[in-house]
Amino acid sequence: MPKIKYFSGLGRRKTATATVRLIKGKAETKINDMPFSRYFYDNPKAEKIIYEPLEICGLLGKYYFSSHTSGGGKKVQVEAIRLAISRAIVKLDDKFKLTLQKNKFLTRDSREKERKKPGLKRARRAPQWQKR
């Protein structure tokens, strides 16, 4: 069996983590061993978001990827996959780094849910004040 050369990338967003293998050639994109369209059947914008880095670098159709993702919701997983693809593209060729940075695809969105504090209903929501 021939060895397949690939470029890997890791992306995170909130509680989601995605690892991507970027492979030269044409094949079906798989996420968690499922076809792309079946995994993100309920999110029609997912395809546009995920393929943005490949499209901007002119690699769409020349490379495909397989991804494993876990944690978070589907939208957060989409953003984690996009970051992982962007990082894999930089490993592929360093000349794409500036293009991806300008489009903010290499910046990790570090916002996470704030923890609940004692005496409050949520992270910051206090109980309603009562006069009596």
User: How many percent of the chain have pLDDT more than 70?
Assistant: 98
Residues 89-96: what's their mean pLDDT? Answer: 94
Q: Domain-by-domain residue ranges, the chain?
A: 6-102
Residue 42's pLDDT is 87
- Give the Cα separation of 65 and 5 in Å (integer): 12
Look at the block and give the residue holding tokens 């009562």: 130
pTM (2 decimals)?
0.89
pLDDT tens profile 33-70: 999 889 998 888 999 999 999 999 999 989 999 999 99
CATH code given to domain 6-102: 3.30.230.10
| Cβ contact 84:29 at 8 Å | no
